[in-house]
Structures are given as C-alpha cells and as structure tokens.
Structure 1
Amino acid sequence: MDVVWSGDWVAERLGVALEGDGELRELLGLALRRNPKRAHLLVSNVLGKHVPQKPAVVYGAGYGLGERVRALLGAEEARRAVVLGYAETATGLGHAVADGLRDAPYLHSTRRPVAGVAPAGGFEEAHSHATSHLLLPEDPELLAGGAEASTLVLVDDEFSTGNTVLNTIRALHESHPRERYVIVALVDMRSPADRDRLTAFATEIGARVDLVTRAAGTVSLPDGVLERGQALVAEREAEQASPPGQAEQAARAGRA
C-alpha cells in the first residue's frame, strides 16, 4: 500500500517539487500559503507547531541536533556556547538544541518590544509576514563578543535561502564580533548559489561558520507559481464562504 505524502495536494495543484535525500519527505510536507511573496509553505512533520506529533519525536529532533553541535564544538566549548532560536517557529526547537549542548544559555528572538528593556540587537526576516526581530536578553552581556567570545549557535526550522540567518550574523558581528558561528536547522533547502554565498560570507566577516542539519534538498518552483497559488487561495476561500451546498451547485452549473 502506497503511503500518501502530506505535500501531494499542493504539489499536484501548483507543480511544486520537493527533492532531496531519503528522510526529507518524512520531515517535510507542503501547504498552500496566503502570502504575497510565496505560494507554498514547507510544513515540518517533527516540529510540533503545525501538525500533531509525539512530544518525544519533537524534543528528540532538536536534542539530537544539539548533541551533534556538542560533538562538533567539543564539550568545553559547547558549555560556553550561546544558543539563539528564531520566533516563532523555532522557539521550542532552539530550547531542545540548547539541552542537547548540555545547559547552554538560550535566547529566542521576538517581534514585540518590551518597555524598559533595551534591545541587544535585531535583524530582518524579509519573507515573513512580520519582518522585524528583536533580541532582548535578560543579561545584557549574553551576546557580548570579542576575542574570547563563545560560539553563537543559531537555530531555525529550515535553512532555505539563508538570508535570515546571514542578516542576523551580520548585524550581531558588527557590534559583537566572534570567531565562530554554528547554524542549525532541521532541513537545508538552499540552492547551489546560496551554498556558495554562505562560504563567501564567512570569508567576508573573517569567522568560521558551520552548518548542522538533519536532511537536505531543494524546492523546484514552476513559472507563475505565485499567481497560481494566489488564485487557488482565493478559490478555496470563496468555497468556504459559500453557504452549504452552494459551491457544489456552482461546480455542477459550470460543467453543464
């Protein structure tokens, strides 16, 4: 019996193709997105945010990534690392990664300013519905840089173009430079050009930038996918707004 992939509905209607290693489709599905910039949404099956999942699977996915970062850095450096997660999707994932490093301090970004708390930094997430992020650590020195600065571990659910993470590193490096960054994500969905851009970026800022992910792949988008997606969203919303039975009657009338 064939297993139905959770991205089939969107893939068939928009012509979007998800290609990658063997685990990729177990980790990701596709959804339709009501967004002026993107027609599709990659939906994680292990994040515990959009689709139901066992808590052990959700926590284990992040904790396992954290253990891999610990092995990469070594136990001593891992204890000194600072973990930064992205709001809102990767807040829980970042906590689990920090646990996998063994008691690393953890901070997630926020889109909401807090009266009386001065931001320690900020960055832009260009493709998001709300683009501006703030960093509001309780300890103002948490993100302090310098020659002896600890490694900064940045956690997101997916690494697509890399723009958000690179914007974050660039903004923090200008005010709090450090020698090493580790990017952590469940999936790496970058194009070859974006992979080359990360290498050039590390050289530009003079720091080591490592990447730890669970799976990798690419998304293939046909021409006109955004317009097709917007039309499909409008069609589905019109159906939902119609009285019961009216959408079916309209469909039958159209076939007459």
Structure 2
Amino acid sequence: MTASWVSSRLGVRLVDGPRPVGAGLSSLVGLAVRRNPRRAHLLVSAVLGKHVPTDPRLVYGSGLLLGELVRARLRGEEPSRPGSLLADALDGAPGAAAGLRDLMRAPRVPVDAIVLGYAETATALGHSVADALGGAYYLHSTRRPVPGFATYGGFEEEHSHATSHLLLPADPATLDRDVPVVLVDDELSTGRTVLNTIEALHAVRPRGHYVLAALVDLRGSADRARMDALADRLGTRIDAVALAGGHVELPEGILEAGQALVAGLSGGSSAVGEGSFEVARASLEWPAGLPDGGRHGFLPEHRARLEKDLARMGDVLVAGLGDASRVLVLGFEELMYAPLRLAEALADALPGVDVRYSTTTRSPVLAVDDPGYAIRTRLVFPSHDDPADGPGERYAYNVAPGSGRRGFDRIVFVVDDAGDTAALADGLLGRLRALAPVLVATVPAYGRDA
C-alpha cells in the first residue's frame, strides 16, 4: 500500500466509501506529503498519470469511464460499467488496461456540453471526459497568459501552491450557451473550487445544469449541503459523479506535523549526475492548425482529426526509439493530453514493451524512497517556458528508478514549442539524459502566434 508510510507517521487514513465502478478509494490513490503550508497531505492518483508513471491505456480508459458516468447522468440513463476491468488494471492484470480503454471508447449517443478541466492536474482528464461525451466542447484553465486571448473568467483554487487560473477561449461564444457545464478535477475534497467556478460562470451566463466530475469524491455532508444550497440559490441543478467515494481522516495538528516531517527529511531528490546518454529529436509533423490541447478550446472536429493522425505520429516515435523494453512518455505541466494520446498510440504499436506515461509538474512534494510511499524519487530542475509568475523549480516524480525499482531504458519527452528552450536543454534534459536516451517531440503551442 502506497499510503502506509504517511499513515504511520502522520496518522492520515483513507476510508473507502461508494465503489460505483468496482474500485475503492484506497486502490485509486496513495498518499504523499506536500511541501505546502496550507495542506499537509497529497492524494496521489493511480490512474491520473501525473506523479506516477502509469499505463496510458489505464489513464485514458479511466478518464473515459468518468466521462461515461457524466454522459449517463446528463441523459438520465444507467452508465455502462466496466465489470472487473478497472480493478484488474489497477492490479496489473495483463490486457486489462487496454480492455478498459477499448470498452469505454465504444460508440455511444453523443451529448452536447461544455467541459471545463482544471490546470494543471486535470487537463488530460477533462479532455478524456469530453471525448466520452462525443459532442462536447472542451476548455481547460491555464496559468499561462497568452497574448491575443482575452480572459473569460478566473477562479481561485484555495489549497493550491499557485492559485491563478485563467480561461482563455479562442471563441468566447462557445462558452455562452445554455448547455450543461461539466467541471472536471482529479479530486473533490471540499468542492469549494468548483462551486466558486459555477457561481462565477453563472453570473455571466445562467445555465440549467452543472455536473461535478472527479476521480474521487471526498466531500462530507456539510460540503454536499453547500452544493445543494448553491443550486437552490442559483435556481439550477448541480450533480456530482466520481469513480469512488470515501474520506480522508486527518488528525489534529496535521499541518504542523507535516511541516515538521518535511523539515526533518532531505526531500529524496535523486542524485543524478551529468547526462551521458543521447538526446535525439522526433519530427511528429503535428497536423497544421490542430490545437495541442484545450487551453484555448478543443472541438469534436479537432478530436476526430487527432484520431486520424495518432497512429502515424506513434510510428514516428517507434522509429526513434530503437530497441526498448521499458519506455516513459513524459509530458510537460499543463500539456498532458497530447502526450497521453501519443503514449497510448506507442503502447498499441509496441505490445511487447512496457510503456508508461506521466508529466512534469509545479507541485512541490516530499519524496521518500520507501515501498509504502507514493512518491519514491524526484528530479528538480528550473522552469523552462518563461512563466508569467517568474522562474521557479519544477519536478518530475518517480522517473529516476529508486531502490529496488527498475528504471526506464528510453524516455520520450513531449513539450510544446513555448517550453522548448535553452533552459530545457540545460535543465530537465540534462537530468533525463543521465538516466536513459531521450527522444524529444515538440508540438506547436496553439495560438502562440495569435
């Protein structure tokens, strides 16, 4: 269990609740300790592909499964359920992750909706939910201001280490419709962030139905009552769906205990020397005009176009990998969906290769090389995309092997051109090439030249 280390030292405990798709809270998340004075613990998802390198078909299949729960709620139907596939995939059963993904992408009646994902963690998850709905427009929040794009709205994520979120749609009219709005995050802890978002959106354009969608729902009765009260006050309907429910038991003094624990440990940064492996580049020939993600909006026709080119771009990566047995496809902060789908294509093209997917992040987390802890190793490197809030440290977790764990023999780093800089070459790439040969695949940041 990747929660045992934190549980034994801080007294934090995961308590399972509803299991609507056959997996419980304690199998979907582990625990780590944040380097954040406002929240001591971090839930580390086993299906998100953010901090833990994960089979991309499990990541995408889980997102599609969450989207199926949303689709069924919007249509008033019973959702298609995965049987034991999700639980089997979490246990590493051969073929289960691909089976889950294939089951969940079977054609269903499409639904028109607006799907909003939260940066940085839920950008690909929101994309996957929109994919499952078939007819949805997708937009994710961003911490990257882009010249030429007006801010539609902003909201605050109260527990986050970096709270400025922007909505920057290329066409604001796509948001100004009375269709259901689906707000997607990796977890619902209190629900305050999504309720704040609903209130802000509703003030601009009232809508009749909102759905909160998360991998795990940890809200208590007071939090649920707050959601119902907001729905009554706004005269709208607000529903919530999740793959699993439950709650986190936190002892008194958890913030102080967490800070003391962090202060007493070195942080587990992997001691990686100067790089000696090759860094090569792959020319994906990303389709002209296709958005790299949902920062400025992603339409069903964009999704159809990406699907047509995925296998071709996967073959480009295959050609650049050579003889590999364990490959990590590493995305870049908010750029999660394109790397996820490329990793999925790579996994399909190389059935005998263990392909994993994760991304870099701004989130500072304590790393402890212990089997009972979710974040075993961390790489620390400088930001490399000229961030609006100034330079700072960035992290890649569980990429270095740690004790008793096998490393990767190839790393594919997928980055947008805004992040493909000299600072990347001098920073993260230097850390990665000390571990394995690196293949860099750059995609154009949509709207960068607007």
Provide the C-alpha distance between the structure 1 equivalents of 2:268 and 2:135, rounded to a whole number of angstroms.
50
Cα distance change of structure 1 residues 200 and 45 upon mapping to structure 2, 3 Å threshold: same
Report the equivalent of 1:218: 247
Which among 3, 6, 20 is matched to residue 2 of structure 2?
6
Provide the C-alpha distance between the structure 1 equivalents of 2:221 and 2:12, rounded to a whole number of angstroms.
18
Report the equivalent of 2:41: 40
Contact conserved, 2:114 with 2:138, CA < 8 A, in 1? yes
- After TM superposition, the structure 1 = structure 2 runs for residues 63-74 of structure 1, keeping only pairs within 5 Å, are 63-74=64-75
Which among 98, 105, 120 is matched to residue 152 of structure 2?
120
Provide the C-alpha distance between the structure 2 equivalents of 1:131 and 1:215, rounded to a whole number of angstroms.
26
Contact conserved, 1:180 with 1:208, CA < 8 A, in 2? yes
50-59 or 71-80: which moved more?
Answer: 71-80
Report the equivalent of 1:250: none
Aligned AA for 1:236? Answer: L
Contact conserved, 1:162 with 1:194, CA < 8 A, in 2? yes
Quote the offset at 1:80 in angstroms: 1.8
Report the equivalent of 1:246: none
Report the equivalent of 1:108: 140
Q: CA RMSD in A?
A: 1.9
Quote the offset at 1:174 in angstroms: 0.5
- After TM superposition, the structure 1 = structure 2 runs for residues 197-208 of structure 1, keeping only pairs within 5 Å, are 197-208=226-237
SS in 1 for 2:245: strand
1:81 to 2:113 alignment: yes
Contact conserved, 2:110 with 2:135, CA < 8 A, in 1? no
Quote the offset at 1:157 in angstroms: 0.3
Report the equivalent of 1:253: none
Structure 1 stretches lacking a partner, 5+ long: 242-256
Provide the C-alpha distance between the structure 2 equivalents of 1:188 and 1:238, rounded to a whole number of angstroms.
29
Aligned AA for 2:257? Answer: R
Contact conserved, 2:211 with 2:239, CA < 8 A, in 1? yes
SS in 2 for 1:236: coil
Aligned AA for 1:97? Answer: V
Report the equivalent of 1:228: 257
Which among 190, 195, 199 is matched to residue 166 of structure 1?
195
**Runs of 4+, deviation exceeding 4 Å:** 75-78, 238-241
Contact conserved, 2:112 with 2:133, CA < 8 A, in 1? no
Provide the C-alpha distance between the structure 2 equivalents of 1:238 and 1:212, rounded to a whole number of angstroms.
35
Instruction: Report the TM-score when normalising by structure 2.
Output: 0.50
Report the equivalent of 1:178: 207
Provide the C-alpha distance between the structure 2 equivalents of 1:101 and 1:26, rounded to a whole number of angstroms.
26
Which among 8, 11, 14 is matched to residue 15 of structure 1?
11
SS in 2 for 1:68: helix
Count the aligned residue pairs: 234
Aligned AA for 1:228? Answer: A
Contact conserved, 2:217 with 2:245, CA < 8 A, in 1? yes
Which among 104, 118, 126 is matched to residue 94 of structure 1?
126
Quote the offset at 1:204 in angstroms: 1.0
Contact conserved, 1:77 with 1:151, CA < 8 A, in 2? no
Instruction: Report the TM-score when normalising by structure 1.
Output: 0.87
Provide the C-alpha distance between the structure 2 equivalents of 1:36 and 1:70, rounded to a whole number of angstroms.
38
Contact conserved, 1:77 with 1:150, CA < 8 A, in 2? no
Contact conserved, 2:112 with 2:135, CA < 8 A, in 1? no
Provide the C-alpha distance between the structure 2 equivalents of 1:131 and 1:142, rounded to a whole number of angstroms.
25
Quote the offset at 1:237 in angstroms: 2.3
Structure 2 stretches lacking a partner, 5+ long: 18-22, 77-107, 271-450
Provide the C-alpha distance between the structure 2 equivalents of 1:103 and 1:96, rounded to a whole number of angstroms.
12
Report the equivalent of 1:251: none
Quote the offset at 1:188 in angstroms: 0.4
SS in 1 for 2:44: strand
Aligned AA for 1:206? Answer: G
Report the equivalent of 1:152: 181
Contact conserved, 1:83 with 1:152, CA < 8 A, in 2? yes
Report the equivalent of 1:52: 53
Cα distance change of structure 1 residues 127 and 204 upon mapping to structure 2, 3 Å threshold: same
SS in 1 for 2:172: coil
Provide the C-alpha distance between the structure 1 equivalents of 2:65 and 2:208, rounded to a whole number of angstroms.
24
Contact conserved, 2:48 with 2:59, CA < 8 A, in 1? yes
Cα distance change of structure 1 residues 115 and 125 upon mapping to structure 2, 3 Å threshold: same
Cα distance change of structure 1 residues 238 and 61 upon mapping to structure 2, 3 Å threshold: closer
SS in 2 for 1:158: strand
The share of aligned pairs that are identical, in percent, is 60
